[in-house]
Structure 1
Amino acid sequence: MMKKAFSFIVLCTLVVMLVDNVEKTNAATCNPQELVPCAAFLSSGATPSVACCSKLKAQEPCFCGYVKNPSLRQYINSPNAKKVASACGVSIPKC
């Protein structure tokens, strides 16, 4: 339980820190902080909430940019991220 809570806190902190690293051309629409509602599901692989799925669908066009970002790549390509995306009906592209 403590490990999951720590992972969640670390993930949230990274997401907040990385907001400034998103390319300026994508800043208006691509914001990894928008995925914070998915953090618990990404760390646990549990069935995502409606709010998480909504955010994933809104951010789907940004996934290639996130995959190309070395700080975000590990989260987008993780097995749990693929499970959550699949449960939400969102695909993670091979960029």
Structure 2
Amino acid sequence: MIPEQNSRKLIQALEYLRDHGLTIDQLCDLHHNPKRAERFGAAISYRNSPPQEYQEPNITYHQRLLFVAAEHWRTEAGFDALVSQARAKFPDVVF
């Protein structure tokens, strides 16, 4: 299973980001719809629901979450820089 389809890894990433100070604004910036009022609790609950195969644009959002969590753990870089890097590395998918 690819990481962006693995609910357990996504929940771990969300919990890590929440516990290490990623702000709600930064979480919203990672989301495929930055105007949406994304919250950690709702994001975790959604991924705790029965297993599903995620589609775009969720896959891009998941890639960004996993990237920011991994890079923060690895480098302790600031979240503002990591969010910008994640949006550049995983741009929005246009249908």
Structure with larger RCO (C-alpha < 8 A, sep 6+) = 2
TM-score (normalised: structure 2): 0.31
Q: Point out the structure with the larger helix share.
A: 1
